[in-house]
Structure 1
Amino acid sequence: MSEGDSEFDPEAAEEREIGREMVDQSTGLGSVAAHLYRGEVHRAVDWRGRLDTTTNWAVTVMSAIVAYAFSGDVSHAVILAGVIVGTAFLFIEARRFQDYDIWRSRVRVLQENLFANALDPSAGVERAAWRKELSDDYRNPSPKISYRGAFSHRLRRVYLPLITAMLIGWLFHLWAFTPDEPFPESAALPGIDGTVIAVAVGLYYLTLLVLAVPLTSKERGESGSADHGDLEQ
């Protein structure tokens, strides 16, 4: 008996065989898996569309606000209001990304452990207990990424560049429309000293930079190492 036979693991063998069974045997598993996978992909695409809609609205509204701010003698406070609006969209999109990630994670588990195994059973499966994890997730669905993680992901991918561009536009607006006043005095608003406004904006941007730092591999991307452990939380 070979060394591999002496270390035979029935559980691992069963997991490996599920891919071959789906292709080689008429058990109905292939049809069920195909419908399940198609449904999960549809829901992932649907939630991806909601994310894109939020992003499109954010870009459109923030661009319109900047365009209005430079259309004439308009207060620089309009641009700061646009930054606040962009932040509100960010909070909404982080929540939507959490929901999207539920379906995306299931699709990746099926791809890695079922369909990849069906194509090449000799390579085995990514996780031995993937069917149990997926079953538990169907019984008790829950987000696979924290709200902070989702917030960081969308901030880094979309909103930090947008808000950075708006704040650069804000500084340019101060320079172009109040050339006779030095910064930060030019940032003053009625009843609020310019230094206070400048410090508040600086602290706000510094907070965004801190929140944009990913704390886990999953927060860094949507595939590869970020997908391992999706259903284990």
Structure 2
Amino acid sequence: MGAIAHLYRGEVYRSTIWRTRLDTTTNWAVVTLGVALSISFASPEASPIPLVLVGILIVFFLFLEARRYRYFNVWRARARWMETHFYAPMLAEGDLHLEEDWQRVLANDYLRPRYHVPLMVAMGRRIRRNYFWILLIQTLAFAGKIAVHPTPAASVDEAIRRADIGPLPGELIAAMGALYVLAFGAIALWSKRDDLARSRRRGRAKSDSMG
């Protein structure tokens, strides 16, 4: 009992540390977007290019945060497993229900550690939690920049022409922006469906895995 208690405390501690690391990458994305906004809106003549280039950094930070989330989820899942299969039955019934083999599942996870969620699911979860709002601000800021600076655009065609970046026409930039937004949205929706499917599977039968 004492060993399990110390083990649980260790898993909670590790999940807390990795949760802090998740906040760090989100902060990096917010700060870099803020810098891009400051540069692009510093004057009416300022270029909107920083709002485009910051998208590369946002994708990088999202990928990095998804990797960190997979580590965090390992410790979180183990702590949650002990809460639901050890502490809750002990408190409610005074019985550990060892016949359900939950302890073997936990032991196997220590013997053969693995990620509990795929990378794309982790990315989708982080998009839904944080990066949706970062993406929304970036998209609205870019659209607003080319619509009002240096003067209010008289037509959609004029706004698209302002999106030109060197030899790249505004139509191509707009298409790439639309693909960028759709890709984020598709990953978020797919991960949501995957999470719902996982929840339904856990509800229909006794789960033999964590995560």
> Shorter-normalised TM-score: what interval?
0.7 to 0.9
Q: Select the residue among 65, 72, 77 that pairs with 1:100.
A: 72
Aligned-pair identity in percent equals 29
Does 2:115 correspond to 1:143? yes
User: Residues 178-197 of structure 1: matches in 2 within 5 Å?
Assistant: 178=150, 179-180=152-153, 182-197=158-173
CA distance in structure 2 between the partners assigned to 1:230 and 1:65 by the alignment: 47
Q: Give the C-alpha shift of residue 180 in structure 1.
A: 4.8
- Structure 2: gaps of 5 or more residues: none
**C-alpha RMSD over aligned residues:** 2.5
CA distance in structure 2 between the partners assigned to 1:190 and 1:81 by the alignment: 14
Please, which moves more after superposition, 142-151 or 185-194?
Answer: 185-194
Does 2:184 correspond to 1:208? yes
Asked if structure 1 preserves the Cα contact closer than 8 Å seen for 2:78 and 2:210, the reply is no
Looking at secondary structure, tell me which structure has more helix per residue.
Answer: 2
Task: Give the SS at the match of 1:183.
Answer: helix
CA distance in structure 1 between the partners assigned to 2:70 and 2:77 by the alignment: 11
- Structure 1: gaps of 5 or more residues: 1-29
Q: Give the C-alpha shift of residue 217 in structure 1.
A: 2.3
Structure 1 match to 2:2: 31
Q: Give the C-alpha shift of residue 220 in structure 1.
A: 9.0
Does 2:42 correspond to 1:71? yes
Structure 2 match to 1:5: none
Residues 7-48 of structure 1, C-alpha deviations (whole Å, 9 max, x = no match): xxxxxxxxxxxxxxxxxxxxxxx2111111111111110111
CA distance in structure 2 between the partners assigned to 1:194 and 1:220 by the alignment: 42
Q: Give the C-alpha shift of residue 215 in structure 1.
A: 3.2
User: Residues 1-233 of structure 1: matches in 2 within 5 Å?
Assistant: 30-72=1-43, 73-121=45-93, 128-178=100-150, 179-180=152-153, 182-213=158-189, 214-217=192-195, 229=207, 231=209
The change in CA–CA distance for 1:206 and 1:172 in structure 2 (over 3 A counts) is: same
Asked if structure 1 preserves the Cα contact closer than 8 Å seen for 2:153 and 2:159, the reply is no
Q: Give the C-alpha shift of residue 125 in structure 1.
A: 5.3
Task: Give the SS at the match of 2:159.
Answer: coil
Q: Give the C-alpha shift of residue 136 in structure 1.
A: 0.2
The change in CA–CA distance for 1:132 and 1:126 in structure 2 (over 3 A counts) is: closer
CA distance in structure 2 between the partners assigned to 1:134 and 1:230 by the alignment: 10
Q: Give the C-alpha shift of residue 129 in structure 1.
A: 2.0
> Runs ≥4 in structure 1, deviation > 6 angstroms?
218-221
TM (norm. structure 2) is 0.86
CA distance in structure 1 between the partners assigned to 2:184 and 2:170 by the alignment: 21
CA distance in structure 1 between the partners assigned to 2:27 and 2:198 by the alignment: 22
Residues 64-115 of structure 1, C-alpha deviations (whole Å, 9 max, x = no match): 2112211123211110111221111000000000000000000000000111
The change in CA–CA distance for 1:159 and 1:144 in structure 2 (over 3 A counts) is: same
Question: Rg larger in 1 or in 2?
Answer: 1
Asked if structure 2 preserves the Cα contact closer than 8 Å seen for 1:156 and 1:212, the reply is yes
Asked if structure 1 preserves the Cα contact closer than 8 Å seen for 2:8 and 2:79, the reply is yes
The change in CA–CA distance for 1:180 and 1:32 in structure 2 (over 3 A counts) is: closer
